[in-house]
Amino acid sequence: MHDIVLIPGDGIGPEITRSVTKILEKAGAEINWIECEAGEETYNKSGTPLPDKTLDAIKKHRIALKGPLATPVGSGFRSVNVSLRQEFNLYSNIRPAKSLPNIESPFQNVDIVTFRENTQGLYIGKEQWAKEGEHAESIAVVTREASRKIITAAFEYAKSHNRKKVTLVHKANILKLTTGLFLEVGREVAKSYPDIEFEDLIVDNMAMQMVLRPQQFDIIVTTNLFGDILSDLASGLVGGLGVTGAANIGDDAAIFEAVHGSAPDIAGKNLANPTALLFSAMMMLDYLGEKTVMNRILSALYRVLQDQKYVCTPDIGGSGNTATYTEAICAALDF
């Protein structure tokens, strides 16, 4: 039995969380959920978006599954997602994007996994006014140690998952010290993995190449801001953020999450798509070593997408809702 912290989140979070936990239970996952709160609704109730009780639970159990959390834009409290990544040094943000049956997209046979350094870069939020209201500055931090950790994680994933190539993305032609260091470390690490092809691309060229021929890419590893952008781009190639999962993994803790928004406009209407959080939960099962359960769920999901698309939620081309989609996946688990 695995003790896992469960954070339903804001907006549609509670609905898709109920869907995913139901599917995992049906599949035979032995999980004891410890439900905790975080996000905007929690802030409105208690004055903090990340209560000590939630932090303490994650510190104790070291693994969490998290729904979407709303974050104010331009003002208000700091992103809970960023706070959690830094609190537990979850340096590796892993975002697979793979073509799915019957999910509309102009691209086919896409299978990309993005590794994003999760604790440094511009996301440390180190900003200041040089001249109040007129001149703002932001500092990006890149260290050799953090770079080595995320790049090594990408190569180790490639090795363990029979992947053939790692592409390191940078802007070392302009940002010579920060992303230049990241590239230097990447070239050093690559020497230890002679059986895996290594290449590096400048980020603007990378963005273009991803929409010209995404099938050429396998594993992508990059810095925090570039990874944030490119992982969303990769999701767009296969149908959007609603169909891709995510993991934040450190040396001794992991948080699995849906990275799409909280969609308050459809909250409570039985229209929310649980696919992204379900993929995140499957990544969690893989992390726990529960590959048999993970593969059962993946097979059931593919059967539903292939043969019962009509039961799916409208955002992925179905005429069903959260409940019909969830029930169909549960039923497919019986075969």
**What is the set of active-site residues?**
123, 171, 204, 228
**Strands of the 2-7 sheet, one edge to the other:** 31-35, 2-7, 63-66, 254-257, 246-249, 92-98, 111-117, 219-222, 165-170, 197-202
Strand partners, 33: 4
Closest CA to 318 of 262, 246, 243, 259: 243
Q: Rounded to whole angstroms, how far apart are CA atoms 175 and 215?
A: 28
Name residue, tokens 């993970």.
Answer: 294
Over the range 105-140, which residues count as b (16 or more CB within 10 Å of their CB) and which as e?
Answer: eebeebebbbbbbbbbbbbeeeeeeeeeeeeeeeeb
Name residue, tokens 């010209």.
Answer: 212
Strand partners, 112: 97
Q: What are φ and ψ of residue 72, in 5° steps?
A: -60, 145
Q: Rounded to whole angstroms, how far apart are CA atoms 218 and 83?
A: 29
Q: Rounded to whole angstroms, how far apart are CA atoms 130 and 208?
A: 35
Name residue, tokens 């359960």.
Answer: 293
Q: Rounded to whole angstroms, how far apart are CA atoms 271 and 12?
A: 9
DSSP letter assigned to residue 213: -
